[in-house]
Amino acid sequence: MTRSSSLGTTDRPLSQVLDSLLHEQRQAVLAQVAAHLRYVHDQQQWYGALGLDTVVLTDAGQVRLLPPEQCEHKRSLAQSLQQGRPFDEPCAAPEQYVQDPLRPPGPWSDVYAYAALSWHLLTGRPVPAAPWRQLSDPIAWDEEADGSMQAMLRGLSLDPTQRPQSMSAYAKLQALGERREQAFADTKDEPLPVLAAARRPAPLWLAGVMVLVVAGLGAAYLFGTGGTSASPPSVPVQSSRSGATEPAAVGVSGPQSGAPARPEVAAPTLPEPVRKAEADVVPGQSSPVDAGKVLAAQPPVARPSPALESVGGAAPEQGGVVNVSPPLPLREQAASPAGQVEQLEPVAAKPAPPPAKGTVVLDVRPWGEVYVNGRKHGVSPPLKSLSLAPGSHRIVIKNAELPEYSTTVQVRSGRTASVSYQFR
């Protein structure tokens, strides 16, 4: 037995008084409708005809539902066609439009209807019919919605398995969302505890270790970077007294602060002919010694070999002659070998664009489920056309218990074909 009654003289459908109800009154109406549906589901039954015309209000403010026997044509599309009445129910679930044994209607269909009615009363916008939602659904899931809205969106799912299976499950889902919101609000308003105890000071030995570490890093930086410098290259010079070769420092400067003192290097001893020439020169007068003789008396200096010049080194000693060569700068980049051709990578050719699709215009009366190559594409009407790839396609149209219609259509790129059939 369902908790419903026939329409009395003082009862008015919800569609007639909806515009005069306030938001709180609409919530009270939804609460009473939910109680009626929960009672029906507890009796292992389902209503199947919930809408603005089947929910009635009395003058006493009570909400009632029309008996199921008065609204059998609103429970499914097949029953409305048998009675010759139109089936235009925005609150009807998708499974009420077709006869699919894998997706039969049941209490979950009432959950869809209740969520659609709640959406209409609370937002002011009716939910589109289920076939239209299958083509273009304006209702999307919102992760940031409150508990009531999330339960409503879950109830409006087009897949029956994704909805709450009864009004009791719907109420639990709604209450769970409200408790989560309340818990979040309580934790948000509650101030965080403030620690009254002061921080303990760091031990003295830790401060001493930090001072030693900083001092060690500073000393390493001074001796490693600022206190040392690269030693200049030395030039070996032949001595005239002992005939041995002594190193002579080139460009030696005094020791810097913070670095160990370097031993001073004696000035190089000039050859004997040069000393004699310098002794004969009187200060303030030109030298009587021929410059050519002086240069001829100096020991010859041999040029380094080309192999050593390329790396900036000095040639070895040959016959008492010291070869001195200043270091040459290294070449930054070796020249590429002559005649070498740069290898280019092959460029892959772009794939050809896919051919344009064709259009198949549908004219099905009164209605039918459209299958293309075994895959369902919707119900026509409202489905008016199909966009298919070029080629041969098998189209099957089904209508409840009537014999199905099948045909093969040859679709061409950019062309339009048509399929027309009337069930009788």
pLDDT at 167: 94
Please state the rounded mean pLDDT for residues 366-379. 88
Highest-confidence segment of 79-93, 250-264, 341-355: 79-93
Domain membership of residue 51 (yes or no) is: yes
Residue 108 confidence (pLDDT):
96
Average model confidence (pLDDT) across the chain: 73
Residue 275 in domain: no
Inside any domain, residue 316? no
Backbone region of residue 373 per phi and psi (left: phi > 0; alpha: psi in -120 to 50; beta: other values):
left
**pTM metric for this prediction:** 0.44
Q: What are 196-248's pLDDT values in tens digits?
A: 444 555 567 777 888 888 888 888 777 765 544 444 444 444 444 444 444 44
Domain count, the chain: 2
Confidence check: pLDDT of 187 > 90: no
Q: Does residue 122 fall inside a structural domain?
A: yes
- Kindly provide the b/e burial profile for residues 193-227, where b requires at least 16 CB atoms within 10 angstroms of the residue's own CB: eeeeeeeeeeeeeeeeeeeeeeeeeeeeeeeeeee
User: Would 176 be classed as within a structural domain?
Assistant: yes
Q: Can you give the CATH number for the domain in which 386 is found? A: 2.60.40.1120
Query: What is the mean pLDDT of the segment spanning 139-146?
Result: 76
Can you list the alpha helix ranges (DSSP code H) found in 124-160? Answer: 130-135, 147-155
419 CB contacts (<8 Å, ≥6 apart)? 360, 361, 362, 363, 364, 395, 397, 407, 409
Asked whether residue 230 is assigned to any structural domain, the reply reads no
* High-pLDDT (> 90) share of the chain, %: 25
Residue 127 domain boundaries: 12-187
User: Per-residue pLDDT for 369 more than 60?
Assistant: yes
* pLDDT score of 89 more than 80: yes
Domain presence at residue 308: no
Q: Is residue 179 part of a domain?
A: yes
Which range among 102-106, 139-143, 378-382 has the greatest average pLDDT?
102-106
Each residue's pLDDT tens digit, 90-119 = 899 999 999 888 889 999 999 999 999 999
Q: Pick the last residue of a domain from 187, 209, 237.
A: 187
pLDDT category at 45 given cuts 50, 70, 90 is very high
Sequence-distant (6+) residues with CB within 8 A of 67 are: 2, 4, 5, 6
CA distance 409 to 407: 7
Domain boundary among 187, 212, 231: 187
Q: Does 273 or 415 have the greater pLDDT score?
A: 415
What DSSP element (H or E) covers 174? helix 167-189
Which domain CATH number covers 151?
1.10.510.10
Q: What is the mean pLDDT of residues 6-16?
A: 75
Mean predicted confidence (pLDDT) in 329-341: 47
Residue where a domain stops, chosen among 187, 220, 236: 187
